[in-house]
């Protein structure tokens, strides 16, 4: 089976790095990284990842904005997006679900469970 | 004679005149009788004397039987007018001569005369004696007419006297007012004038010397009485002045309190008309706000964006006087009268009169714009802190997790132990931050409870299932004994509370024991009880365990991995629901944690949750929408069309509402808490009564054709929130209803 391609979008270098190490080590997925929403919008159309892990609070373009821009682009519209967020309030969850976000993973995450949670959310058997 | 109502003067005059009349009549009558009797006697005596003289004169003629001489003697009686008849009888008793004043007199014999005396006449029989021998009898009859004549004269005189006496009496008695009636009338006049309240100092005139003593006493007593009344009145006036002064001090003080109160205060009457407002109210709302007095508060106060504005006056929580509860607290936005609006927090209290009936409303309110700004700042701060703390923690936790996992190469056992400690404490730190944020949000009331109709039994089962793995690992059995009642609660928060209490119970229960979760309803509240067989909690800690970071044993939190905030969060959640939480324990025998949550009743404070109208024959529309504002707009437009609406905010509540009453149309949002629109439709399809209910799917996004298939129920319409105007929406709902009614009629006809 072809390893999954994942795009991690987070303004924090360390978090990007840890998430990437975690996904590579636990599942052997191919991880690409973007340090901002703008970078993500540039990279995603070419990369065509299987999923995007998108940080919600980012300077400049935040997660929801980036998500909407991805949705507006036909080439990235169908890529499932999972939010990485420190916000876990029910109201936020409702708001994000309504936007069309597939799932949310709370920060801090357990690096050993990250891939499991992503796979479960996207129903990857 | 009727005396009633006659003035004293007339009565007295009448009495005097009657007395005079009676006295005169008695006196006159007596003298007439006396005179009558004596006159009769005198006449009789006169006649006897006359008879004696005439008898003597008649002796010679009778002796000599000289009839002429005898007639002459009798004729001389003509000088006595009273004598009407006379006769001289001879010895044999036969008439010798007769005399009649008028006509003729021819008596038969003396005996006849003697035996038949003539009434009305005085009759005298006198023997005529000569030389000791009776030679005849003289008879004289005198008329009593003279007596009668005298009597008539007397009566006339008496009548004259009586008339004169009465006239004199009448004239004299007209002087009576001077003496009796005038002073009394004077008293009456004074009394009348005082009664009119013109002149309290007025007194009756001092009595004259001529005034009778009783009336004098009366006047004196009357004046004394007036003096006494005056004194009492003065005393009362002084008392009234004193009380008025006291009252005005109190009123001034109250006014000062009202005037100096920092909060705005409105007084409303039953119709919601402003009867009073204090300067603070005017300063909060702009000085032009004073013009509100005398006008309806409800019609003018609510800002355009405020939902209260659209409610009828009686349903307005701020202005309605007949709402329960009698004291209502809330937030809203009031219009400023110089433009704009101000966010306020109000307390609206219904005022009741002596009989417990509502008499009006007092609304106190304060400007909370500063506080809202502060709260916003705090929110932002909390949000930032939360983000700023989590970011490094995410890295630390991730790095430690990866190191400890061995994926990056094995470390020796002691290093591994250190890494494990670091991981578990990082986790604890994360939980602590989460709990602090959670507690802060609930306590500040800024996280709205997402309340709906939830089933107590479902909650118990869900929470028990969630804790099962954890309990099994601890060797503890958790049993739920669910009773199914509808609660008015936030599903997630109650699950959080139950989970928290159950996991606490598991943590503190020895392996092999059982935890029982059950519940019961009482007085509008449902009580959940979590009973364990653990070591129990000392009495002195039963209250304090709900405080932040308060545990029976300070080592507990570290040992059991808790944050020390779990029970505080539970208490905050329960309190936010209007419930109560407490623990009962017997040391060594276990602990029971209990908390209460209100049962679902028609909630007075959320009009959209109850059937809006009792007219059940009108078609019912069930609105399933978690956006309250949108639901309100939809509901209002449908109600305007004569439809009955019921609004629920979650899929789960939609199910409950459908069980209550089969709706005629369902308006369904897809993304819902607890149970989404797809699940609601799936469930409805399984219910015979609900499988063909018309459905309007009203959602934010276009629904894909495959999803449309999954969502079909009865006649089904799909509408996208941004693309369908409210008018069109309303139109389509009405159309659907018409289709449904038509279908029913066809069925009925078949």
Q: Is the ipTM of this complex over 0.90?
A: no
B459: tokens are 């909650």
List, for residues B442-500, the tens digit of each pLDDT value: 777 666 677 888 889 889 999 999 999 999 999 999 999 988 888 888 888 999 999 99
In chain B, residues 608-667 whose CB comes closer than 8 Å to chain A: 626
Given CB atoms, is A71 within the 8 Å cutoff of chain B?
no
Nearest-Cα distance to chain A for B259, in Å, is: 42
The arithmetic mean of pLDDT across residues B120-129, rounded, is 84
Partners of B388 on chain A (C-beta within 8 Å) are: none
Cα(B333)–Cα(B343) distance, integer angstroms = 4
* Predicted pLDDT at B747: 58
Q: Please compute, for residue B628, the number of CA atoms within 13 A of its CA located in the half-sphere on the CB side.
A: 11
Tell me which chain B residue has its CA closest to the CA of residue A110: B398
* Predicted pLDDT at A41: 94
Nearest-Cα distance to chain B for A42, in Å, is: 25
* Predicted pLDDT at B606: 43
Mean residue pLDDT across chain B? 82
Interface test with B, best of A10, A27, A58, A86 (most B CBs within 10 A): A86
List, for residues B499-543, the tens digit of each pLDDT value: 999 999 998 899 999 999 999 988 889 999 999 998 888 888 888
pLDDT level of residue B232 (50, 70, 90 thresholds):
very high
- Return the minimum-mean-pLDDT range out of A26-40, A51-65, B17-31, B706-720: B706-720
List, for residues B259-296, the tens digit of each pLDDT value: 888 888 999 888 888 988 888 888 888 876 677 888 88
* Predicted pLDDT at B610: 41
Partners of B447 on chain A (C-beta within 8 Å) are: 89, 91
Partners of A108 on chain B (C-beta within 8 Å) are: 390, 393-394, 396-398, 426, 430
Cα(A16)–Cα(B395) distance, integer angstroms = 9
Sign of torsion, CA B29 B34 B37 B43? negative
Given CB atoms, is B395 within the 8 Å cutoff of chain A?
yes
* Predicted pLDDT at B583: 93
Partners of B391 on chain A (C-beta within 8 Å) are: 12, 15, 86, 107
Nearest-Cα distance to chain A for B399, in Å, is: 6
* Predicted pLDDT at B541: 85
List, for residues B630-644, the tens digit of each pLDDT value: 777 777 777 777 777
Quick check: B394 and A15 CB within 8 A?
yes
Quick check: B394 and A88 CB within 8 A?
no
Assess whether pLDDT exceeds 60 at residue B616.
no
pLDDT level of residue B744 (50, 70, 90 thresholds):
low
The arithmetic mean of pLDDT across residues B316-325, rounded, is 81
Name the strand (E) or helix (H) holding B501.
helix B491-507
pLDDT level of residue B433 (50, 70, 90 thresholds):
confident
* Predicted pLDDT at B459: 92
Q: List beta partners, residue B262.
A: none
- The string over B483-522, giving b where at least 16 C-beta atoms fall within 10 Å of a residue's C-beta and e elsewhere, is eebbbbbbbbbbbbbbbbbbbbbbbbbeeebebbbbbebe
Classified as helix, coil or strand, B675 is coil
pLDDT level of residue B97 (50, 70, 90 thresholds):
confident
Quick check: B387 and A57 CB within 8 A?
yes
List, for residues A48-97, the tens digit of each pLDDT value: 999 999 999 888 899 999 999 999 999 999 999 999 987 667 677 878 88
CA of residue B375 relative to chain centroid, distance: 45
B101: tokens are 């004043």
Quick check: A109 and B390 CB within 8 A?
no
* Predicted pLDDT at A115: 92
Quick check: A86 and B426 CB within 8 A?
no
Cα(B221)–Cα(B243) distance, integer angstroms = 33
Partners of B407 on chain A (C-beta within 8 Å) are: 25-26
* Predicted pLDDT at B608: 44
- Report which of residues B197 and B131 the model is more confident about: B131
Quick check: B447 and A26 CB within 8 A?
no
Partners of A97 on chain B (C-beta within 8 Å) are: 671
B120: tokens are 């009305």
Given CB atoms, is B701 within the 8 Å cutoff of chain A?
yes
Nearest-Cα distance to chain A for B447, in Å, is: 9
From residue A98, give the alpha-carbon distance in Å to each of A103, B275, B647: 11, 48, 20
Quick check: B402 and A89 CB within 8 A?
no
Quick check: A22 and B386 CB within 8 A?
no
* E-state strands within B425-485: 451-455, 477-481
Partners of A91 on chain B (C-beta within 8 Å) are: 447-448
From residue B476, give the alpha-carbon distance in Å to each of B498, B533, B556: 16, 10, 18
Assess whether pLDDT exceeds 70 at residue B111.
yes
Q: DSSP class of residue B76? A: G
Cα(B1)–Cα(B368) distance, integer angstroms = 89
Nearest-Cα distance to chain A for B390, in Å, is: 6
Assess whether pLDDT exceeds 70 at residue B386.
yes
Residue B526, φ and ψ in degrees, nearest 5: -110, 130
* Predicted pLDDT at B516: 94
* Predicted pLDDT at B743: 66
Q: Which of B399, B492, B700 sits opposite A98 (nearest CB)?
A: B700
Residue B220, φ and ψ in degrees, nearest 5: -60, -45
Nearest-Cα distance to chain B for A49, in Å, is: 23
Shortest CA distance to B463 belongs to which of B576, B655, B597? B597
Cβ-Cβ contacts under 8 Å for B267 (sequence gap 6 or more): B274, B275, B276, B277, B360, B361, B362
C-beta separation of A54 from A9 below 8 A: yes
Assess whether pLDDT exceeds 70 at residue B48.
yes
Assess whether pLDDT exceeds 50 at residue B611.
no
Given CB atoms, is B715 within the 8 Å cutoff of chain A?
no
Nearest-Cα distance to chain B for A30, in Å, is: 17
The arithmetic mean of pLDDT across residues A17-38, rounded, is 93
The arithmetic mean of pLDDT across residues B178-194, rounded, is 78
Assess whether pLDDT exceeds 80 at residue B340.
yes
From residue B466, give the alpha-carbon distance in Å to each of A81, B470, B725: 27, 8, 43
Tell me which chain B residue has its CA closest to the CA of residue A20: B398
- Residue in the block written with tokens 């009668």: B148
* Predicted pLDDT at B603: 41
List, for residues B410-430, the tens digit of each pLDDT value: 888 888 988 988 998 888 888
Cα(B531)–Cα(B518) distance, integer angstroms = 8
Given CB atoms, is B393 within the 8 Å cutoff of chain A?
yes
* Predicted pLDDT at B561: 64
pLDDT level of residue B574 (50, 70, 90 thresholds):
very high
Interface test with A, best of B379, B391, B494 (most A CBs within 10 A): B391
A42: tokens are 């540039």
Quick check: B408 and A107 CB within 8 A?
no
A16: tokens are 């990007």
Q: DSSP class of residue B250? A: H
Quick check: A25 and B407 CB within 8 A?
yes
pLDDT level of residue B582 (50, 70, 90 thresholds):
very high
Quick check: B394 and A90 CB within 8 A?
no
Interface test with B, best of A19, A68, A111 (most B CBs within 10 A): A111
Kindly tell me the burial class for residue B363, based on how many C-beta atoms sit within 10 Å of its own C-beta (0-12, 13-18, 19 or more).
buried
Quick check: A100 and B405 CB within 8 A?
no
* Predicted pLDDT at B607: 43
Assess whether pLDDT exceeds 70 at residue B191.
yes
Given CB atoms, is B521 within the 8 Å cutoff of chain A?
no
B243: tokens are 């009380």
Shortest CA distance to B547 belongs to which of B580, B530, B571, B578? B571
Given CB atoms, is A90 within the 8 Å cutoff of chain B?
yes
Cα(B201)–Cα(B466) distance, integer angstroms = 94
* E-state strands within B117-161: 121-130, 133-143
Nearest-Cα distance to chain B for A110, in Å, is: 6
């Amino acid at each position: 089976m072809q390893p999954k391609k994942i795009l991690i979008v987070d303004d924090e270098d360390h978090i990007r790095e840890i998430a990437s190490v975690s996904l590579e080590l636990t599942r052997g997925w191919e991880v690409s990284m973007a340090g901002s929403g703008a970078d993500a919008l540039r990279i995603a159309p070419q990369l065509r990842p299987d999923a995007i892990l998108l940080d919600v609070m980012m300077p400049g373009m935040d997660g929801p904005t980036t998500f909407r821009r991805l949705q507006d682009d036909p080439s990235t519209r169908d890529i499932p997006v999972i939010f990485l967020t420190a916000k876990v309030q029910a109201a936020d969850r409702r708001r994000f679900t309504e936007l069309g976000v597939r799932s949310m993973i709370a920060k801090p995450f357990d690096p050993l469970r990250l891939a499991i949670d992503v796979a479960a959310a996207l129903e990857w058997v | 004679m009727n005396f009633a109502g006659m003035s004293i003067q007339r009565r007295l005059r009448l009495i005097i005149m009657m007395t005079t009349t009676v006295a005169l009549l008695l006196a006159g009558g007596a003298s007439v009788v006396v005179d009558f009797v004596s006159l009769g006697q005198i006449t009789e005596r006169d006649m006897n004397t006359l008879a004696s003289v005439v008898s003597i004169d008649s002796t010679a003629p009778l002796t000599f039987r000289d009839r002429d001489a005898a007639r002459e003697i009798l004729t001389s009686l003509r000088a006595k007018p009273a004598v009407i008849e006379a006769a001289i009888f001879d010895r044999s008793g036969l008439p010798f001569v007769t005399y009649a004043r008028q006509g003729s007199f021819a008596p038969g014999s003396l005996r006849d005369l003697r035996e038949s005396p003539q009434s009305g006449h005085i009759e005298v029989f006198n023997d005529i004696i000569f030389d000791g021998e009776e030679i005849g009898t003289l008879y004289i009859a005198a008329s009593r007419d003279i007596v009668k004549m005298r009597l008539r004269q007397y009566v006339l005189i008496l009548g004259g006297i009586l008339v004169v006496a009465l006239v004199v009496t009448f004239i004299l008695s007209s002087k009576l007012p001077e003496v009796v009636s005038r002073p009394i009338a004077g008293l009456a006049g004074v009394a009348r004038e005082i009664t009119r309240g013109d002149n309290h100092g007025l007194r009756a005139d001092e009595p004259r010397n001529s005034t009778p003593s009783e009336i004098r006493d009366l006047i004196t007593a009357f004046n004394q009485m007036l003096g006494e009344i005056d004194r009492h009145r003065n005393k009362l006036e002084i008392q009234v002045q004193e009380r008025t002064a006291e009252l005005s001090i109190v009123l001034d003080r109250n006014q000062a309190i009202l005037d100096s109160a920092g909060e705005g205060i409105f007084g409303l009457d039953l119709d919601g008309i402003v009867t009073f407002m204090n300067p603070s109210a005017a300063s909060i709302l702009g000085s032009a706000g004073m013009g509100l007095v005398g006008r309806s508060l409800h019609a003018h106060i609510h800002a355009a964006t405020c939902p209260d504005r659209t409610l009828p006056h009686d349903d307005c929580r701020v202005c309605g006087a007949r709402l329960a509860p009698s004291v209502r607290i809330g937030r809203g936005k009031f219009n400023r009268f110089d433009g704009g609006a101000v966010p306020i927090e109000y307390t609206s209290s219904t005022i009741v009169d002596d009989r417990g009936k509502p008499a009006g409303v007092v609304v106190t309110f304060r400007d909370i714009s500063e506080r809202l700004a502060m709260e916003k700042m705090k929110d932002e701060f909390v949000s930032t802190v939360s983000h700023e703390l989590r970011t490094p923690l995410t890295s630390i936790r991730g790095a430690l997790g990866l190191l400890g996992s061995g994926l990056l190469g094995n470390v020796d056992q002691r290093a591994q132990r250190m890494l494990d400690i670091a991981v578990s404490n990082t986790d604890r730190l994360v939980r602590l931050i989460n709990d602090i944020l959670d507690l802060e949000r609930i306590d500040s009331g800024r996280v709205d409870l997402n309340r709906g109709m939830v089933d107590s039994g479902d909650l118990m089962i869900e929470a028990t299932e969630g804790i099962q793995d954890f309990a099994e690992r601890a060797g503890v059995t958790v049993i739920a004994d669910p009773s199914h009642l509808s609660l008015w609660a936030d599903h997630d928060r109650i699950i959080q509370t139950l989970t928290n209490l159950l996991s606490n119970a598991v943590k503190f229960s020895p392996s092999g024991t059982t935890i029982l979760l059950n519940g019961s309803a009482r007085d509008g509240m449902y009580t959940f009880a979590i009973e364990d067989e653990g070591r129990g909690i000392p009495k002195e800690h039963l209250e304090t365990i709900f405080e932040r970071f308060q545990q029976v044993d300070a080592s507990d939190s570290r040992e059991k991995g808790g944050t020390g905030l779990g029970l505080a969060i539970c208490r905050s959640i329960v309190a936010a629901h209007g419930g109560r939480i407490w623990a009962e324990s017997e040391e060594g025998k276990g602990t029971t944690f209990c908390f209460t949550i209100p049962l679902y009743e028609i909630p007075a404070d959320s009009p959209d949750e109850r059937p809006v109208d009792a007219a059940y024959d009108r078609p019912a529309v069930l609105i399933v929408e978690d956006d309250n504002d949108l639901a309100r707009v939809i509901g209002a437009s449908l109600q305007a069309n004569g439809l009955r609406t019921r609004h629920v905010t979650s899929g789960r509540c939609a199910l409950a509402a459908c069980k209550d009453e089969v709706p005629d149309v369902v308006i369904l949002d897809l993304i819902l808490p607890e149970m989404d629109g797809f699940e609601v439709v799936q469930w409805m399809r399984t219910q015979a009564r609900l499988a063909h209910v018309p459905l309007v799917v009203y959602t934010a996004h276009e629904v894909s054709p495959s999803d449309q298939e999954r969502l079909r129920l009865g006649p089904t319409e799909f509408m996208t929130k941004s693309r369908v105007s409210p008018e069109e929406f309303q139109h389509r709902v009405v159309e659907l209803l018409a289709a449904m009614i038509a279908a029913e009629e066809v069925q009925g006809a078949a």
